[in-house]
Amino acid sequence: MYSSTANIRTLMADFHIEGMMLRYSSFIPRLYNLCKSLGFESGKIMPSRAFCSDENQGYPIILITQHFGVFPFNHGQVGGIVATDRHAPHAEHGRDMVIIHASHVGYEPELGVFGVYRRAQSEDRHLTASCGKIEAVLRWYQDEYAFARDNILLERSGDDYLVTIDNQLLRDNRDEGLFLNLERLAAPVGDREFRPVHCWSTAKSLLAAPELRRFMDQAGWEAGRREPIGERLLPEYFRFKRDIQGDLEGRSHLEQNLFEPMAWIVTAPHPLLTAAQVNTQVEFDRTFRTIVREHSYQGKRVLYVSGLNIDISPDLGQRFPLTKFVPWAAFVRQADGSHTTLEQTELLARLRAQPSENSDRIDLEASIQQMEQAREIRVAAP
């Protein structure tokens, strides 16, 4: 999906958050009305959700049930991966098909921080990572990045501008780890070789690349000043290498989705937010192709919507998060096989053009009470 640094940067920049959010209480009725505008028939629509298993994804599921009149099929795996092998059974359960896919990220409004969520059912209502699966995948890469940030030093020695790099980071024969794009950090000496100016017991000092030298000049770097590169270790300066088992839709699927843009993820202000965005983009691109090829969906109307769920920690007294949805893209297929893709701005415009009221919305409490009062049916033992 990503073929160059420029492509990674452009694709990630094209997923807009600001001004693109819909509260779930508004998004789901608008989505239902969008379905009807596309010819989907009330009472014949089978929704499916492809969400993470986190409990804070429950509120969107309740709203889907309320507005579509049926509990949604489950297309989701931990981390917001779409189980595409469930297309065929999903297709058997309705005439018109809807799949709502979302990777998710927590948001703590008191701190203004993405990536955490307050667990109301815990003893002390503490904050934990959200999505925890994404956080677990990122941890190794973040540790590698933190080591590099602390062990690449910028220094001015007399008239020389130097970059001092830990020996481990200079070893290219490692099986995995963070590997430097040395040409962005150091200047070659003579015939394009990166020769150390000084060799230390655990590191080597090289002449700094022109880009770093300009930065140090602009920062008024004085002779004798030496400090870690820190946040100046930009994603263009390094890459990762790791052996990831190729288990499609398995344990390592999420890590594979995030691997190529990982340098941009770990350097982002909110890594879990950026990772969730990337996963949403990769999964949409992959999943819509499987829908096109799925024989069980042929002759059916299909709407596949992908986006980002933002789980806002509930206040005291609130049962559920104030979840917001950021649409990314949608794929629409009509029964005659004609299809189209809606990009982010067009999808949001189409949703906002729909009424936020749904006359087909069911009363969940009345429906549950009806089942409680229904005549007892005895199941005969075999």
Q: Report pLDDT digits (tens) over 79-99.
A: 999 999 999 999 999 999 999
Question: What does the DSSP 8-state code read for residue 95?
Answer: S
User: Does 233 share its domain with 319?
Assistant: no
367: in domain: no
Count of residues for the chain? Answer: 382
Residue 61 amino acid letter: I
Residue 379 has pLDDT above 70, yes or no: yes
**Can you give the pLDDT at residue 328?**
98
262: in domain: no
Q: What is the rounded average pLDDT of the residues 178-202?
A: 89
34: in domain: yes
Find the helix packing angle between 58-68 and 24-37, rounded to 10°: 40
Assess contact for 206 and 197: CB atoms under 8 A. yes
Rounded Cα–Cα distance for residues 38 and 34 (Å) = 6
**Can you give the pLDDT at residue 43?**
95
Q: What is the rounded average pLDDT of the residues 57-81?
A: 95
86: in domain: yes
Assess contact for 361 and 367: CB atoms under 8 A. no
pLDDT confidence band for 1 (50 / 70 / 90): low
| Domain with 90 in it | 15-115+270-357
pLDDT confidence band for 45 (50 / 70 / 90): very high
Residue 4 has pLDDT above 70, yes or no: no
> Please, what is the average pLDDT of the chain?
93
Q: What is the rounded average pLDDT of the residues 147-156?
A: 97
Q: Which residue has the higher pLDDT, 199 or 188?
A: 199
Count CB neighbours of 106 within 10 A: 29
Assess contact for 163 and 130: CB atoms under 8 A. no
Global confidence as pTM: 0.92
209: in domain: yes
334: in domain: yes
**Can you give the pLDDT at residue 79?**
92
pLDDT confidence band for 194 (50 / 70 / 90): confident
**Can you give the pLDDT at residue 6?**
63
Residue 250 has pLDDT above 90, yes or no: no
User: Does 304 share its domain with 233?
Assistant: no
Assess contact for 305 and 347: CB atoms under 8 A. yes
Question: What does the DSSP 8-state code read for residue 214?
Answer: H
User: Does 232 share its domain with 280?
Assistant: no
